Amino acid sequence: MSYKRRTIWDRKLPAFAGIFVLLFALGLTLVLSRNTVQFVSKATVGSVPKNVQISNISPTSFTISYETDASAVGTVAYGNVQTMGDIGLDVRDQQTGTPTERRVHFITINDLKPATKYYYAITSGTQVITNGTAPFEIITAAEISSTPPPNETMSGSVALDDGTFPTEGLVYASTDSSQIFATLLQPDGRFTLPLGKLRTIDLTSYLPLANDTKVMLKISTGTLQSEATLLGEQTVEVPTIVLSKNYDFTIGPEPLNTVIASQSGQPASQSAGFPVFDEPIAVTSPEITTPEEDQKFKDSQPVFKGRALPSTPIEIVINSAKEITAQLESDANGNWEFQPPLELDPGPHTMTIASADINGTLQTLSRSFTVNAAGSQFTEPSVSPVQGSPTQAPPITPTRAQLPSPTLTPSPTATPSPTINVTPPQVASISPTRGPLGQTGSYSTAAGIITSVLFLASGVILFFTIAV
């Protein structure tokens, strides 16, 4: 009589399946029971609005334009009350009603009332930009009874240094005493800008353009900029402008090697109220700018900020009752921003970041901070200082506020649908403002309860529940 040696593969399936399920469940338990939340997301890195400009103010409309380092959906919530309630889309999306991700944003708000105050907030990606905790304000122009002057329509073209055309861009036009007019570059690099209803800076009267009136142009694609000066008689057909080069067409068509000066002797971008494109100060090692050491927050989900080398990975660990670990990347200018996805318990906490310095060495920094319990009395310092840009109104210091983002229903092209619902909170009145604004990252997390049922080889059924 012979016997065949039995192996685990010869055993009955239920016993083997029970062992497999047990091992899988135990492994899952070890993974899920760790008291740490981890996630990696760069959804909003690069979506911060830059070079925000208000232009084309008329009795019934105004335009908000800006750029982002990465493609992002841009909309504007607005209304004649602080709760706002209406949504403005990019002019290229208004016909389809579907917001599209872009790097150059041009949003015109129409059908307004003359000489009326309106409130607005900019939504870029998943972040909402306001003037602190309040929306921005703007007053539309009053009607003018006089006939507009016979100013010509400005036309011209823009090219890259290789002879091709930029895919998108913004064109701003202004004189030393006028408001700012703006338009979009067309796909073929052409632009047209009607100047017939150009007004004075205070918007109270039309501004005729004489043949010798100096007009300043600013063209920007977000990564490349050019400035040009020309006379009123040259606006009918502006000579071709090659991006990254500056021109003074009042003396000739060749590009300049110096910054253009206006009639007042100041750089044209400043005198005309254009955004100033400042180069960011480079850092050689990672920094934490918010929180300051032992800073106190009344918000249980404060926004943390800092700088690192451009486009460099950063690991963030917040030591709390539930440790939070995040991995994100600084933007092209080295800025980073992070908001915990979970509410932090009242009391002291520590945040630690790790990122490489200019020599490639991993550097670690830590900051202590405190989250005050609800109802406690203290003054929270400003956490979002930014530099305003010179425009038609005094500069302000806009900060990121917790307003709801539009609810966008994705389409097959990953572009949100036109159904947009915004319910901004009640906010306090502020003074009119213009200017570029702050930065953020994004995050996601999950929580729940996992119930496992194990069928052991012995026939015993084991139930257990894991709370995540």
Model confidence pLDDT, tens digit, residues 410-450: 434 443 433 333 334 333 333 333 433 333 333 333 333 33
- Residue 387: inside a domain: no
Q: What is the CATH number of the domain that holds 137?
A: 2.60.40.10
Residues 259 and 229 in one domain: yes
Q: Over the stretch 17-34, which tens digit does the pLDDT of each residue have? A: 555 655 665 555 444 444
For the chain, first and last CA: distance in Å? 57
Region 9-17: what's the mean pLDDT? 52
23 is in which domain, residue-wise? 8-36+446-467
Residue 134's pLDDT is 87
In a domain, 392, yes or no: no
Hey, which bits of 282-405 come out as E strands?
287-290, 295-297, 304-307, 313-319, 323-329, 335-338, 347-356, 362-371, 399-401
Residues 24, 78 within the same domain: no
Quote the number of domains for the chain. 3
In this structure, the answer to whether residues 54 and 186 fall within a common structural domain is yes
Write down the pLDDT at residue 346: 92
329 and 256 fall within a common domain: no
**What are residue 262's phi and psi, to 5 degrees?**
-85, -175
Query: Are residues 97 and 144 both part of a single domain?
Result: yes
**Both 358 and 260 in a single domain?**
no
Say if residue 363's pLDDT is above 60: yes
In this prediction, residue 232 carries a pLDDT of 93
Residue after which a domain boundary falls, among 336, 371, 406 = 371
Same domain for 92 and 228?
yes
Residue 370 has pLDDT above 80, yes or no: yes
Residue at 339 is within a domain = yes
Based on the fold, state whether residues 287 and 153 are members of the same structural domain.
no
CA distance 353 to 316: 4
Report the percent of the chain where pLDDT is more than 70.
Answer: 65
pLDDT for residue 66: 94
Q: How far is CA 244 from the centre of its chain?
A: 24
Are residues 219 and 145 both part of a single domain?
yes
181 and 305 housed in the same domain:
no
For residue 367, pLDDT beyond 80: yes
Domain check: are 244 and 310 in the same one?
no
403: in domain: no
pLDDT-derived band at 114, boundaries 50, 70, 90: very high
Domain for residue 430, yes or no?
no
Residues β-bridged to residue 315: 327, 354
- Residue 129 in any domain: the answer is yes
Candidates 64, 99, 265; CA nearest to 170 is: 64
408 in a domain, yes or no? no
Decide: pTM greater than 0.75. Answer: no
- Is there a single domain that holds both residue 322 and residue 260? no
pLDDT at residue 121 greater than cutoff 70: yes
Under 8 Å between Cβ of 160 and 194: no
Q: Which of 347, 371, 395 is the last residue of a domain?
A: 371
| Final residue belonging to a domain, choices 222, 251, 271 | 271
Domain presence at residue 405: no
User: Residue 383: pLDDT above 50?
Assistant: no
For the purposes of burial, counting CB atoms within 10 Å of the CB of 42, is it exposed (0-12), middle (13-18) or buried (19 or more)? Answer: middle
* Closest to 466 (Cα-Cα) out of 38, 39, 27, 40: 27
Euclidean distance between CA atoms 401 and 130, whole angstroms = 6
The stretch 242-246 carries a mean pLDDT of 93
